[in-house]
Structures are given as structure tokens and as C-alpha cells.
A = this chain, B = another copy of it.
Amino acid sequence: MAVKKFRELDEALVRQKEAAFADFIQKQGLKTTRQRNTIISTFFRMRGHISVEELLNQVKQANPRIGYATVYRTLHLLVDSGLVEERRFGDGLARYEGHSDVEHHDHMICLECGEIFEFFNPRLEALQESLAEENDFQIFRHRLELYGACKDKDACQRRKSRTGAAAAEE
């Protein structure tokens, strides 16, 4: 029962994402700019479910002249490129999710500490699929969010230090 180190920041993976984005930009006939590079490098080096404000704050450390507009625009590009997903958890702000280990996953949101955990369960997926089928519905995508609480403060804090990923092994 080795404790798997969860989501070590993988420099190679980050570089790969950056390259993929550069590729996308090129293919779209868009231009490579300092700002875009700053923003995406920053983004891919952050973890979790990142809000625009969080990202901008971080970006400003590298280049204080970058403003909201460019961050928003670049995030749209990231979403269009397929490298990033936009999520909304009902607190009114968009959050962006970059390099995930898991292709698709769902979320548990702790209403105590605000932490967002990811999980994936094939039975859940299968069940949804069969339910949809029963109703002649074809699923393109879905969203499942569990809102609640880590059972106790301690567990909550321990997890927090593991950077927003749960449902792996404990």
C-alpha cells in the first residue's frame, strides 16, 4: 500500500502542454506573444480549479502590466484548444482546470473548507449511460458534483495539503 505521490508538478508535462498550445496557436494562424506565454506557463504551473482572479494575481508577479482582458482572452483560447476545461460550481465564477491525470472526473466540493476534490468511478459512469439509454437520450457530457463536508477538520486539512485531489487512495 504505497502512498502514491499525487500530482507532483511534472515539468515535462507542463512543457508538453505549452508545446501543444503553441501548436494550436500556429494552426489557427494566431500570434505568439509574451503575454500569452506568461499566462499559460503560469496557468499550467498552478494546481486545482483556478479562477480568473487567482490566475491574474499569479500572472502579475511575472508581468504586472497584464490585465484581466488578456487573461480572459487567453483562457478562452486554452478552452478552445481543448487543453483546459471551464467549470462553474455555482459560486458565480468560472474556474479553469488544466492538466488533469484523469481524462474525465467528477467533483466533491467541501462546503467547510472550500476545497474541491476530484474523483472518478466507472460504475457511476456506466449507470448514467444505461439510464440515458433507457430514455433514448444520448449523453455528450455530464456533470456530477457532490456538495458536503469532509467528515472532520483533521481529514479536511490533511487533504488540503495534498492539493485538491481526493478519491485516490488514502
Interface residues, chain A, with chain B CB atoms under 8 Å away: 88, 90, 108, 110-111, 117, 119, 121, 123-124, 127-128, 131-132, 134-152, 155, 166-167, 170
Nearest B-chain residue to A144, judged by Cβ: B144
Besides the contacts A132-B146, A135-B170, A139-B147, what 16 more A-B pairs have beta carbons closer than 8 Å?
A111-B140, A117-B135, A119-B135, A123-B127, A124-B124, A124-B127, A128-B146, A131-B167, A136-B151, A138-B148, A139-B146, A139-B148, A140-B147, A141-B147, A142-B146, A143-B145
Please report the C-alpha to C-alpha distance between residue A145 and residue B155 in the assembled complex, in whole angstroms.
Answer: 29
The reply to whether B135 and A167 form a contact with Cβ atoms under 8 Å apart is: yes
The answer to whether A148 touches B132, judged by C-beta atoms less than 8 angstroms apart, is yes
10 tightest CB-CB pairs across the interface, nearest first? A139-B148, A140-B148, A136-B151, A142-B146, A144-B144, A138-B148, A143-B145, A138-B149, A139-B146, A141-B147
Report copies per complex: 2
| Chain A to chain B contacts (Cβ below 8 Å), 7 pairs | A108-B132, A124-B127, A124-B131, A128-B146, A138-B148, A140-B148, A143-B145
In contact, A108 and B127 (Cβ under 8 angstroms): no
- With a cutoff of 8 Å between Cβ atoms, the chain B residues found around residue A128 in the complex are 124, 144, 146
Collect the chain B residues with CB atoms within 8 Å of residue A150's CB.
136-138
Question: Which residues of chain B come closer than 8 Å to A111, judged between CB atoms?
Answer: 140
Instruction: Enumerate chain B residues within 8 angstroms of A132, measured Cβ to Cβ.
Output: 108, 146, 148
Q: Which residues of B contact A144 (CB under 8 A)?
A: 128, 142-145
Q: Is the CB of A148 within 8 A of B143?
A: no
Which of B88, B124, B140, B166 touches A149 (beta carbons < 8 Å)? B140
